[in-house]
Chain A
Amino acid sequence: MINQEMYDLLIRSMNDQLTEEEDKQLQQALKGSSELREEKIKLNKVGKLISSRNYSFSDGFRNRVMQAVNEEKKGKVISIDFTRSFTSMFNRIAVAGVAVIALLVISLYISHGSLNVNTFTGVEPVSQDNLISVLLYEK
Chain B
Amino acid sequence: MRDYASYSDSELIEKAKHGEDGAFGELVSRYEQQVAGTVKGMLGDNAAAEDVGQETFIRFYRSLEKFRGDSALGTYITRIAINLSLNEIKKQKKVISLFYSRDDEEKEFDVPEEKSHEDESDTKEIVDKALLALKPEFRSVVVLRMLHGYSTKEAASILNVPAGTILSRLARAQKELKKILEPLV
Contacts and interface: CB of A to CB of B under 8 A. Distances in A.
B123 A49 contact: yes
Interface residues of B, number: 42
Interface of B: 21, 24-25, 28-29, 32-33, 35-37, 40-41, 45, 50, 53-54, 57-58, 61-62, 123-124, 127-128, 131, 142, 145-147, 149, 152, 167, 170-171, 174-175, 177-178, 181-182, 184-185
Contact of B142 (A39, A50, A57, A65): A50
Interface in A41-59: 41-43, 45-47, 49-51, 53-58
Interface string A76-96: 000000000000000000000
A49 B127 contact: yes
Contacts, number: 98
A51 B127 CA distance: 10
Interface residues on A, range: 20 to 34
A57 B40 CA distance: 9
B36 A72 contact: no
Given A11-B175, A12-B171, A15-B167, A55 B21 contact: no
A22 B45 CA distance: 40
A51 B167 CA distance: 17
Interface of A: 8, 11-12, 14-15, 17, 39, 41-43, 45-47, 49-51, 53-58, 61-62, 64-66, 68-70, 72
Contacts of A41: 185
